[in-house]
Amino acid sequence: KAGVTQTPRYLIKTRGQQVTLSCSPISGHRSVSWYQQTPGQGLQFLFEYFSETQRNKGNFPGRFSGRQFSNSRSEMNVSTLELGDSALYLCASHGGGHLVDEQYFGPGTRLTVT
Amino acid sequence: DQQVKQNSPSLSVQEGRISILNCDYTNSMFDYFLWYKKYPAEGPTFLISISSIKDKNEDGRFTVFLNKSAKHLSLHIVPSQPGDSAVYFCAASARNTDKLIFGTGTRLQVFP
């Protein structure tokens, strides 16, 4: 069974631009969560989508948004990029039960904002 | 406000010895705890978990201990192997919130 895939793996953007990241969950998984990893902050929860609906949300500004498609693939968008948005963005999928059940993470997208 | 804290950013242990990674939390509502391991250029992988109704859970070389009164959990790896070298994240959740709160991670290096 294929794992969680994320595209692109690396991205360089300029301040003020917007970016869209993609995540394909494990086949059959209906839940996708997004996290931001930065040095010193660990993994911070952005949001979770389940069956095309946002089910949970972290404490990030409205510049961070997401969506999920009927095939469970998910996209995350960051508008008006800031230098502080430079981070590794990870998505994780699981079968749709309680969020704390074992999640499978993708390799991440490394975003650099200059 | 960091609700889950891993105060040691790094740990170095000799192969064959015990590795002890620590994690503290502040939210008394947390009732489920997990450890993830992360290698460079890969996503975190689930390692072991523990419910608040237990104080110990063991899986092979890995044991997690939970001290609810101290709001502290630890991961013991015995014996440590070079392949265990990675960043370890602890995470916590309160079941009524459906959110996982991660710590900042501890980089473990196991040397021969």
Residue A97: the pLDDT is 65
Instruction: Measure the CA–CA gap between B89 and B84, rounded to whole angstroms.
Output: 13
Tell me the two tokens of residue B20.
Answer: 């002890």
Q: To which residue do tokens 């991440």 refer?
A: A108
Residue B68: the pLDDT is 96
Question: ∠B101-B104-B106 over CA atoms, to 5°?
Answer: 125
Summarised one tens digit per residue, pLDDT across range A7-34 is 999 999 999 999 999 999 999 888 899 9
- Considering only CB atoms, A43 lies closest to which of B32, B97, B102, namely B102
Number of Cβ pairs < 8 A linking chain A and chain B: 59
> What average pLDDT does range B81-108 have in this prediction?
89
The pLDDT-based confidence of A102 (bands split at 50, 70, 90) is confident
> What average pLDDT does range B4-10 have in this prediction?
94
Summarised one tens digit per residue, pLDDT across range B16-38 is 999 999 999 999 999 999 999 99
> What average pLDDT does range B72-89 have in this prediction?
97
Bridge partner residues of A92 (DSSP): A33, A105
Residue A4, CA distances (Å) to A39, B1, B54 in order = 23, 30, 31
Give the three-state DSSP class for A102: coil
- A90–B44 CB contact, under 8 Å: yes
Residues of B in contact with A41 (CB under 8 A): 104
Residue B62: the pLDDT is 98
Residue B92, CA distances (Å) to A6, A93, A107, B101 in order = 25, 17, 22, 5
A26 and A45 Cβ atoms separated by less than 8 Å: no
Residues of B in contact with A98 (CB under 8 A): 95, 98
Residue A38, CA distances (Å) to A17, A110, A112 in order = 20, 10, 11
Instruction: Measure the CA–CA gap between A34 and A90, rounded to whole angstroms.
Output: 6
A17 and A74 Cβ atoms separated by less than 8 Å: no
Q: How far is A17 from chain B (nearest CA, A)?
A: 25
> What average pLDDT does range A55-72 have in this prediction?
94
- Considering only CB atoms, A42 lies closest to which of B46, B98, B103, namely B103
The mean of the pLDDT values for chain A is 91
- A45–B89 CB contact, under 8 Å: no
Residue B41: the pLDDT is 82
The mean of the pLDDT values for chain B is 93
Instruction: Measure the CA–CA gap between A33 and A47, rounded to whole angstroms.
Output: 6
Tell me the two tokens of residue B60.
Answer: 């092979």
User: Does position A100 have pLDDT exceeding 70, yes or no?
Assistant: no
User: Does position B1 have pLDDT exceeding 80, yes or no?
Assistant: no
Give the distance from CA A63 to its chain's centroid: 13
- Phi and psi for B83 in degrees, rounded to 5? -70, -10
Instruction: Measure the CA–CA gap between A81 and B78, rounded to whole angstroms.
Output: 44
Residue from B38, B48, B89 whose CB has the most chain A CBs within 10 Å, to mutate: B38
The pLDDT-based confidence of A39 (bands split at 50, 70, 90) is confident
